[in-house]
Amino acid sequence: MNTFPRYLNWLSITASSVCATLLMATASQAIDSIATKPNSPASSVTQINPNQLIAARKKKRIKRKKVRVRTQVKPVTTSTTPTTSPTDVTQTPPPPTPVTPPPAPSEPSVTREEVEALRKSNQELREKLTEVDGKAAETTKKVEQLDKQQFSINTKLSGQVIFSAAGTFAGDYSRNAAFGHRTRLELKTEIGSGTLTTRLQAVGFGLSNQNPSPNTTAVATPEGSLSWTDGTTNSSIGIDALKYEFPLSEQTQLVVAANAGAADDFTDTINPYFDGDGASGSISLFGNRPSIYYTVQGTGVGIRHKLSDTVELSLGYLARTGNDPAPGNGLFGGGYGALAQVSFKTGENSKVGVTYTRTFNSDPGTGSLNANLGGISNNIGVQGTFQVSPQLALGGWAGYTQNQAPGGDRQIWNWAITAALPDVGGQGNLVGLLVGQEPRVASSGVDPLTGVNTTDTKAGLHIEGFYQIKVNDSISITPGIIYLTAPNQDANSSSAVIGALRTTFTF
């Protein structure tokens, strides 16, 4: 019985020895396989104990498991790149998926009709280009001709012709109807910063301010004078206006008149719809502008200065016979008129002015004969115009004259109320209405030599209407009528009706 336990003990020792031998052999094979691989940690190990072997085997199992996991998630590609080591796999990212570009658009097909239309358009374009080339060549020739024949590069020529027919339909002393003209050619030459104006004029209409159109009484009177007449009948041509105007500053304009200067050359007459200097607006001299402005005419100088955007000052001095050096004439020895005016702009196309003139032997040329006897006069006028609406403008004036002349001192009055209706019946047309009193001597002293009192005996009215029709930009036709209730402000005169037809050409 003691022998069997000993046998078991020997058998156990023998089995342990065999197992240890097998374990050592297996470990040696593993170490050899690890040492033969490049970059292997075991290649530099000469001796290893079992514990190190077991750790290496565990580490190797972990790496192999990691490689198997990465290999499972790696996308399958057809690349022929050789398999890399586990270290390379972990460091190199997978290549990007190639992007396939979209297919190129196919070119649209062109039909035969489109080709024919393109050929036709090309042919039309060639024809147009040929036409344009021809016109350009023709224009070039004309420009070359104008360069050779031009009058002046800094002078502008403009013209104005008035044809008029007028007559008296009622009155104590009627005259035959007359047909005549007024012709003007005006040259404006730019010299320096100013403008030289030279106006040539010829008149063939025998109705003057001293024997007006038509003579309404047996006594000549300026009343009812037409605005484009000066008494000349032979149509002789001569220099009318000759002036040079230039700026002294942005606010100041200076005018020097060498011949036929007028107050409206350097001041605003504040009667825009009626004052056309005879060519447009009112058909009468009285209705054209307030009479106070007619007292300043001739040779001299005027200045126009803007005090502000709404206030303007005008000053001027003109001599009636300033170009004549004979005694009783000249700049200061003969008739003259000095003017001062302040005007106020009260709105769009609305203005009010106050005017003063002092004159010597410079009559207005309107009103009764007694109001045109010369002497020294102090004249005051107030005038205004108001644009009530685009279709209506109201205006008017009032004037007073204190006159010292042979035969006694005189108090002279004049006034008017106007209404203008633009664009009646067409663009550019104008209807004008006026009611007023031409200059009239309201009171007068008695001439100590003759014992005559020169007070006018009746306050007569001047009633006027006209309709200006714009035919085109160059032609206008104006029929008009003037009704005088007491011509020459004379109680012994019967009323008179004057008719006129004016045609104006501008070019």
Q: What is the pLDDT of residue 219?
A: 56
Angle at 397 between CA 166 and CA 499, to 5 degrees: 10
* Six-digit token string for 9: 């003990």
Comparing 102-116, 168-182, 283-297, 478-492, which segment has the lowest mean pLDDT? 102-116
Q: What's the mean pLDDT when you consider all of the chain?
A: 82
Instruction: Say yes or no to pLDDT of 434 above 50.
Output: yes
pLDDT tens-digit map of 492-502: 888 999 999 99
**pLDDT category, 6, cuts 50, 70, 90?**
low
* Six-digit token string for 340: 């001062």
Q: What is the pLDDT of residue 103?
A: 65
Give yes or no for a contact between 484 and 173, defined as CB atoms under 8 angstroms apart.
no
Instruction: Say yes or no to pLDDT of 19 above 90.
Output: no
**What is each CA distance from 82 to 78, 88, 255, in whole angstroms?**
11, 11, 106
pLDDT greater at residue 394 or residue 327? 394
**pLDDT category, 63, cuts 50, 70, 90?**
very low
User: Which residue shows structure tokens 């000052």?
Assistant: 313
**pLDDT category, 57, cuts 50, 70, 90?**
low
- The closest of 249, 266, 291 to 343, measured between CA atoms, is 266
Domains and CATH numbers, the chain: 155-506 (2.40.160.10)
DSSP letters for 77-101: ----PPPPPHHHHHHSPPPPPPPPP
pLDDT average, residue stretch 272-298: 96
For residues 166, 167, 169, 172, the Cα torsion angle rounded to the nearest 10 degrees is: 140
pLDDT average, residue stretch 422-428: 96
Instruction: Say yes or no to pLDDT of 20 above 60.
Output: no
pLDDT greater at residue 425 or residue 34? 425
Residues 6+ apart with CB under 8 A from 260: 199, 239, 240, 241, 242, 297, 298
Instruction: Say yes or no to pLDDT of 91 above 70.
Output: no
**pLDDT category, 39, cuts 50, 70, 90?**
very low
Handedness of CA 302, 331, 340, 379 (dihedral sign): negative
Q: What is the pLDDT of residue 437?
A: 98
pLDDT average, residue stretch 216-238: 78
**What is each CA distance from 349 to 225, 271, 320, 392, in whole angstroms?**
28, 10, 33, 11
Bridge partners of 464, per DSSP, are: 434, 482
Q: For the chain, state the CA radius of gyration.
A: 57
**pLDDT category, 83, cuts 50, 70, 90?**
very low
User: Which residue shows structure tokens 């396939």?
Assistant: 100
Cβ burial of 394 (10 Å; 0-12, 13-18, 19+) is middle
pLDDT greater at residue 364 or residue 221? 364
pLDDT average, residue stretch 138-165: 87
**pLDDT category, 33, cuts 50, 70, 90?**
low
- The closest of 434, 106, 446 to 284, measured between CA atoms, is 434
DSSP 348: T
Comparing 52-66, 265-279, 396-410, which segment has the lowest mean pLDDT? 52-66
DSSP letters for 154-221: TEEEEEEEEEEEEEEEESSS----EEEEEEEEEEEEEETTEEEEEEEEEEE----SSS-SS--SSS--
Comparing 99-103, 156-160, 184-188, 424-428, which segment has the lowest mean pLDDT? 99-103
Instruction: Say yes or no to pLDDT of 26 above 80.
Output: no
- Measured distance CA(186)–CA(191) in Å, rounded: 16
